[in-house]
Structure 1
Amino acid sequence: MISVFLLDDCAFSREGIQKYLACLEEVRLAAVCENEAQGLAHFSGERLPGPAVLLWRYDLERAVAPVEWMKTRQPQDGFSQVVYRAPDDEGMATEMLAAGMAGYVVKGEPLERIREVLVTVARGETWVSPMLAPRLVTYVQRQTLDLLALTEGERRVVPLLAEGLKNPVIAARLSLAEQSVKNTLCALRKKLDVWGRTELVEKARELDALIKLTNYTGGG
């Protein structure tokens, strides 16, 4: 039996999914929450037999961006997180999966996909909407080629650059001379074919998400 905590602040959407979940033999609806605070109060401290899933709406009203929200609000061990009504976007999916999201349901998917994703993540596997999955594979492969072109030193800089840190801070973190960091960034710009600092940081975030996703899925 899969215990599900539903978190959705849209009454129409919440009621529709609640009715659907109530019809599934594999699912026990542990709680239905209308807002973030209510949801956190319900699943913190819960001890449930079997797999448990926090199923939450992507465009839920909250104080921070979706990826940061899930990172800082991880439920206790034994829970998986599934997001639904998520954007059909390869970059966002990669970032959320890298952060630990177990299921990514794109907005527009039929309601029946909810059962499929719940059963899959309950087995400890990852689920991505079929409409996005082929493009996600291509996206990851393309990013992987960029990643493989980097030296070990460049890979060490990427996560710090992804945080938006300035050169002196990166140098201090890695115990390098600031000029060495500047040289590394220059090499990264050439390899990744980006020239502005903003573009470079965005590319670094994509590569950093790929590194984390590879580690998360056991691919590296």
Structure 2
Amino acid sequence: MPNKVRILLADDHAVVREGLKALLNGEPDLEVVGEARDGAAAVELAVALDPDLVVLDVSMPGLNGVAAAEQIHRANPTRKIVALSVHEDRGYLRMMLAAGAAGYVLKRSAADELLRAVRAVTAGQTYLDPALADGLRDELLDRVADGAAGGELSQREQEVLKLIAEGFSNKEIASNLNLSVKTVETYKTRSLEKLGLRTRVDVVRYALRRGWLKDPV
């Protein structure tokens, strides 16, 4: 029998944790190996227990789900994260996806969708609750896909994009990389087109997902 998917469950409500734990442990291929009631404990247990996947509540006291996801993802970018949330607006979705989550499930439909999300994310897919509008889902997936809009970035394109994320102007980047401003603009345009990004905020979020920035912006 294949090894079970080892799951860390983080939610500040004990009743919710118990329900989700029973749901997950009821599956032959899933196993809850740890529980956390806040973001700080989730980060610590992610290191100590080395789970395959973390189910992370977005709204927790102290260190919230977004900050916890960023730290967990930074410590091990291969670890899978599924966000569990009461929030349906695009702000929370984008923040969690940018922080490293690959799944986003609404609490009101968790009993039906969490198992699907866990299995999809474990398989390397991105999963968003179907209650979300299709147009929003497509937009979000396009914006966080690493290279899905046109292939991998070249080394120079990565250098330019990283400096943009760090806040440098085109002129400063040109000086830093010994290029002309026009060449920098060409690399920038090409990179944004490849990744389906539009604004500097999008670039920063992409850089966070790739681990280019040391601290959250």
* Superimposed CA distance per residue, residues 139-197 of structure 1 (whole angstroms, 9 cap, x where no aligned partner): 666999xx99xxx99997555444444677545544457xx49x95xx99xxxxxxxxx
Contact 2:39–2:63 (Cα < 8 Å) also in 1: no
Residue 33 of structure 1 corresponds to 36
Residue 137 of structure 1 corresponds to 138
Residue 19 of structure 1 corresponds to 22
Identify which of structures 1 and 2 has the higher relative contact order when contacts are C-alpha pairs closer than 8 Å and 6+ apart. 1
AA partner of residue 201 (structure 2): R
* Superimposed CA distance per residue, residues 95-135 of structure 1 (whole angstroms, 9 cap, x where no aligned partner): 54355322111353342211111122222222111122612
Rounded to whole Å, the distance in 1 between the matches of 2:172 and 2:106 is 38
Rounded to whole Å, the distance in 2 between the matches of 1:112 and 1:164 is 42
Please list every run of 5 or more consecutive structure 2 residues that lacks an aligned counterpart in the other structure.
Answer: 190-197, 210-217
* Superimposed CA distance per residue, residues 33-69 of structure 1 (whole angstroms, 9 cap, x where no aligned partner): 1223333333324367xxx211110112344781x54
AA partner of residue 103 (structure 1): G
Structure 2 counterparts to residues 13-162 of structure 1, below 5 A: 13-46=16-49, 52-63=52-63, 66=66, 68-74=67-73, 76=76, 79-85=79-85, 87-90=87-90, 92-94=92-94, 96-132=96-132, 134-135=134-135, 136-138=137-139, 159-162=162-165
Q: Name the Cα RMSD after superposition.
A: 4.4
Rounded to whole Å, the distance in 2 between the matches of 1:94 and 1:78 is 19
Q: Which protein has the larger Cα radius of gyration, Structure 1 or Structure 2?
A: 1
Count residues with an aligned counterpart. Answer: 190
Give percent identity, aligned residues only. 22
SS in 2 for 1:4: strand
Per mean C-alpha deviation after superposition, the further-off stretch among 135-144 and 112-121 is 135-144
Q: Scaled by the length of structure 2, what TM-score is found?
A: 0.62
Residue 196 of structure 1 corresponds to none
Q: Scaled by the length of structure 1, what TM-score is found?
A: 0.61
